């Protein structure tokens, strides 16, 4: 198992290297190239601009620049400074990451709870009215674009019924309270999680229906094991294996989904930071976020592969 894990880990290195190369190529493709913001600014003298170019090394050949950039990123974790605010990019990301992780975590919990239980209910009540209802809801869930769902729920819960706040993490001007924070978290987390609730319950339903039709389940029933025990002790545990790998593979999508959700609900996370960077053309910040995002996604894929390898020995032996 360790060997398999190390092999997958080693495969991550060229991946991250290539992604950073793409990032760098993107940075070179920015209009005027990196540093043009300086020379376009009338408040900065040409001498100062030249000095800044020397410090950032943008006059060197592209290959050398890439090597230098890579050295800074890999050895020192230094993504440079924001073109707009002058803050170190890594600091900005560190400051925003917890909010994103909180939103993702909450959405993940909701999706896991409702997705898995919805799938189990649908599979047990297969071809009944309840099953049809669950399947219809999941169809809506996988088809509704997250930004429209966000707008519609804002319209319903904030504008019309005045139940939930629509922006930010806290009510301004009030002392911090957990209840207030959770009220702010609820709507974005639900909106972000609906796609995954729907998708995971469909997987769970399909997987559990397959398992319930297997001989060992019939054997368990035949020898008199109680209904709930058969389902939860024997069937669900086996049915969960493929679903767990799907969940692991979906984690990156959850990360991407948070960018739109954060933008709509003004949730101060990495997605919002990215969107803000897009509006202000802050390329170093964007590069930093894309690099970290690719790294996270590669890491999550590694975890997914590992879970897969642990659960299914055929996978790790085949490679």
Binding residues for other proteins, per CB under 8 A? Answer: 11, 15, 18-19, 22, 26, 29-31, 127, 135, 139-140, 142-148, 151-152, 154-155, 159, 195-196, 198-200, 202-203, 206, 209-210, 213, 246, 249-250, 252-253, 255-256, 259-260, 263-264, 274-275, 278, 281, 286, 289-290, 293-294, 297-298, 301
Nearer to other proteins (CB atom), residue 68 or residue 266: 266
Which lies closer to other proteins via its Cβ, residue 64 or residue 156? 156
Residue 278: CB minimum distance to other proteins, A: 4
* Of 143 and 224, CB closest to other proteins: 143
Look at residues 163, 182, 180 and name the one whose alpha carbon lies nearest to residue 172: 180
d(CA 72, CA 151): 41
Which residues contact residue 14 at a Cβ distance below 8 angstroms, ignoring those fewer than 6 apart? Answer: none
In terms of Cα–Cα distance, which of 13, 37, 73 is closest to 299?
A: 13
Written as six digits, the tokens of 219 are: 């054997």
Give me the least distance between CB of 79 and other proteins, in Å please: 15
Minimum gap (Å) between residue 98 Cβ and other proteins: 19
Minimum CB separation of residue 83 from other proteins in Å reads 14
- Considering beta carbons, is residue 50 or 238 the nearer one to other proteins? 238
Q: What are phi and psi of 130, to 5 degrees?
A: -60, -45
Nearest residue to 287 via CA among 29, 15, 9: 29
Q: How far is the CB of 89 from other proteins (least distance, A)?
A: 14
CB of 116 to other proteins, least distance (A): 14
Number of C-beta neighbours around residue 13 at 10 A: 10
Question: Can you tell me the distance from the alpha carbon of 12 to that of 169, in angstroms, rounded to the nearest whole number?
Answer: 35
Q: How far apart are CA 84 and CA 282, in angstroms?
A: 6
- DSSP output for 113-179: HHHHHHHHHHHHTTTSHHHHHHHHHHHHHHHS-HHHHHHHHIIIIIIIS--S--SSSS-TTS---HH
CB of 175 vs other proteins, minimal distance in Å: 28
Specify the residue, 65 or 294, whose C-beta has the smaller distance to other proteins: 294
- Name the residue nearer to other proteins (CB basis): 50 or 290: 290
Based on CB atoms, which residue is closest to other proteins, 53 or 126? Answer: 126
Measuring CA to CA, which residue among 166, 167, 111 is closest to residue 142? 111
């Amino acid at each position: 198992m360790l060997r398999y894990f190390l092999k997958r880990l080693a495969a991550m290195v060229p991946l991250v290297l290539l992604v950073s190369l793409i990032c760098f190529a993107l940075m070179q493709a920015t209009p005027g190239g990196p540093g043009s913001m300086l020379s376009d600014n009338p408040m900065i003298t040409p001498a100062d601009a030249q000095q800044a170019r020397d410090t950032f090394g943008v006059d060197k050949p592209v290959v050398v620049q890439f090597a230098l950039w890579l050295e800074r990123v890999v050895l020192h974790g230094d993504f440079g400074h924001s073109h707009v605010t002058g803050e170190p990019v890594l600091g900005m990301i560190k400051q925003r990451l917890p909010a994103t992780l909180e939103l993702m975590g909450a959405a993940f919990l909701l999706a896991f709870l409702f997705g898995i239980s919805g799938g189990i209910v649908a599979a047990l009540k297969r071809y009944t009215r309840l099953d049809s209802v669950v399947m219809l809801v999941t169809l809506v869930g996988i088809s509704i674009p997250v930004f429209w769902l966000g707008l519609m729920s804002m319209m319903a819960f904030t504008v019309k019924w005045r139940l939930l706040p629509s922006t930010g993490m806290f009510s301004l001007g009030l002392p911090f309270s957990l209840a207030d924070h959770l009220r702010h978290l609820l709507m974005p987390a639900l909106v972000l999680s609906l796609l995954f609730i729907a998708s995971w319950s469909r997987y769970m339903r399909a997987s559990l229906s397959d398992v319930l039709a297997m001989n060992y389940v019939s054997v368990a029933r035949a020898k008199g094991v109680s209904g709930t025990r058969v389902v939860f002790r024997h069937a669900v545990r086996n049915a969960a294996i493929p679903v767990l790998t799907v969940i692991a593979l979906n984690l990156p999508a959850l990360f991407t989904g948070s960018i739109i959700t954060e933008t709509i609900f003004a949730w101060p996370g990495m997605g919002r930071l990215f969107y803000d960077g897009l509006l202000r053309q802050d390329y170093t910040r964007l590069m930093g976020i894309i690099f970290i995002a690719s790294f996270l996604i590669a890491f999550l894929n590694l975890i997914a592969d590992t879970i897969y390898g642990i659960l299914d020995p055929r996978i790790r032996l085949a490679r």
